[in-house]
Chains A and B, each alone.
Chain A
Amino acid sequence: MGWLSLLASLPSNEAVRTAVLVGGIAAATSSAVGVFAVIRGQSFAGHALADLAATGGSGAFLLGVNQFWGFVAVAVGAAGFMEAAGVERRRGRDVATGIVQGAGLGLAALFLYLAAQTTTRTGATFTVLFGSMFTIDPSGIPPLLGAGSVALSTILVLSRVLLLSALSPELATVRGVPVRAVSISYLIVLAMSVALSAVAIGAVLSTALLVGPAATALRVARGPIQAMAAAVAIAVGATWLGIVLAYVSYAWPPLGHGWPVSFFVVTLVVLPYALTHMFRRPRPRALSTAQSSASVPQP
């Protein structure tokens, strides 16, 4: 007994409704933006933004401000900095990203330490880094929804131009696309979606919503618009299923308290990607297994 009655009480729970709302908008925004992050090979940049957002989040925690503002402020600032430094070649870019990220993490360490020293609230480290969707303050929802819809509509409006400038910057320039302005607004949208995901599943895990659904969708979908739709579907589905599982897990044996939501969401996001690797193309199963077993002995 236990988990079924929990499931029945799910829709009437205030914290769950908040989580579904915030998690849904965060997942939709991140995965739609993520399609472009994956096409442009910016998984590391996205993850670095998330880590830097952790710096802002811990700073906000220290000051007692809503964490979302800390996430947004630092992520947008860092995105601007990375755009300024982004003209270098890819290898140099990764190293520059890493150095900014390292400095940001150092600051996060300081903020979290000071927060532990000066405030009585505990668990700052866990909340900032790994999130806890069930403890989001309902009064903070309107700005989250606002930021989410702005980011989502921007990415929809820009999608054609972004795609063109990602695949062929030269062609985009010739066509009269303001490549740099598009790139900057894209990075701002990326930073906003990272901040949203950081609120929902934690700063260091927000990369999961950004990269996972998009990478899966790009493997199965036929075109970019379909890929965006599929990515949003996967991300929102994984987030909501994760919320339900985490809620129900209060009744599961080893703990007596809930399993972390973020763990479920990450697992549900990574699993489909792993599955697309096992079943490469939608072929008859017998054929593909025969082929793969035949190809094993080859080096």
Chain B
Amino acid sequence: MFTGLMTDTWIAATIVAIIAGAVGFFTVLRGSAFAAHAIPNGAFAGAAGAWLIGLNPIIGLATFAVGASLAIASSRRARLDVVTALALVMMLGLGAFFFALSNEYASEIYSLLFGEVFGVAGSDLLPIAGLGLITIAILTLLFRPLLLSSSMPEVAEASGVRSRWMNVVFLLVMALATTLTVPVVGTLLMFSLMIGPAAAARSLTSRPLLAMAMSVGLALLTVWAGIAIAYESGWPLGFFVGTGGALVYVAARLWAGQRRPARRGHRWPPHDGPRREQPQTTS
């Protein structure tokens, strides 16, 4: 399980889990689950198109992921979900079309949608690691403004953070994360890796840094356990990651419910989050 080709699988999956956990923290905080679903799925069509004209699928993934995030970012808040849905189906329709053109769909569709982690080659690792580092760097640099505009948009505006730009930047980060994770876990399950662990972490703590760390940790746990079981059983990894993400969330909610029964419900944006953060992190 830990030899030869499997080493590359473990490394790639670890990078993917770290990215998904970190980006997922903001996804859950901002309530942009639909965007997190739409961008990877739109990117799927890009990979299909790149395949068709003989380019590296990564290029197609990146192009379509950025396109999807800009389309979502350009819409006004009231029509956000409609535009997201239509951008998504349009790209999926294009994907179906590209695959029909290329005449060889069945297994490629399956692997793009549900992932092909056991087929990761050593040469794929460098671009994945590079894009991963960029994603983490952006999230680190923008941690505070992004946190503020996600949890308290009005306060953020008042203190000079442009919420609109933060939204664009965040969606582009998601596009970047998508580009590097989709070839590994597939479009549909990149999504559950972003939502499940992050939502679990949010229900366990309201301190932002801790929640982000827990989100990454739970994502790692989900992926590692998934790979081990998938390797032993021969069943698809997508199944274990998808259901694992949901299980982690349910377990976290039960645990949180048991520990703090007196608290009245979960306040969704952590209104005490940014305020409680220590000023020491700035300098």
Contact = CB atoms under 8 A, between A and B. Distances in A.
A122 B104 CA distance: 12
Interface in B229-271: 235-236, 238-246, 249, 266, 268-269
Interface stretch (A5-13, A152-160, A225-233, A261-269): A261-269
B9 to A, nearest CB: 17
Interface in B190-208: 191-192, 195-196, 199
B256 to A, nearest CB: 13
A208 interface: yes
A126 B242 contact: no
Nearest to B249: A99
B110 A112 contact: yes
A106 B90 contact: no
A129 B81 CA distance: 21
A223 B74 CA distance: 27
Interface stretch (B61-69, B94-102, B213-221): B94-102
Given A110-B235, A113-B235, A126-B99, A97 B33 contact: yes
Interface in B5-47: 28, 31-34, 36-37, 41
Contacts of A212: 86, 89
Given A98-B191, A102-B245, A106-B239, A207 B100 contact: no
A259 B99 CA distance: 10
Considering residues B94, B188, B195, which has the most beta carbons from chain A within 10 angstroms of its beta carbon?
A: B188
Given A125-B113, A260-B100, A267-B90, A105 B238 contact: yes
A47 B239 CA distance: 20
Interface in A37-63: 38, 41-44, 46-47, 51
Contacts of B165: none
A211 interface: yes
B238 A123 contact: no
B96 A262 contact: yes
Contacts of B89: 204-205, 207-208, 211-212, 266, 269-270
Contacts, number: 185
A92 interface: yes
Interface in B76-135: 79, 81-82, 84-86, 88-90, 92-94, 96-97, 99-101, 103, 105-106, 109-110, 113-114
Interface size for chain A: under 10, 10 to 19, 20 to 34, or 35 or more residues?
35 or more
A215 B114 CA distance: 30
Contacts of B266: 92
Contacts of B32: 94
B189 interface: yes
Interface string A251-275: 0001101111011011101100100
Given A211-B86, A212-B89, 18 more contacts: A47-B34, A88-B268, A91-B269, A92-B268, A95-B28, A102-B195, A105-B192, A106-B242, A109-B114, A109-B189, A109-B238, A202-B96, A208-B90, A211-B82, A215-B86, A259-B97, A262-B93, A263-B100
6 contacts: A41-B81, A101-B191, A106-B243, A109-B189, A267-B90, A273-B86
A-B pairs, top 7 by smallest CB distance, nearest first, are: A106-B242, A102-B192, A266-B93, A91-B31, A109-B238, A103-B246, A98-B33
Interface of A: 38, 41-44, 46-47, 51, 88-92, 94-95, 97-110, 112-113, 116, 122-123, 125-126, 129-130, 202, 204-205, 207-208, 211-212, 215, 254-255, 257-260, 262-263, 265-267, 269-270, 273
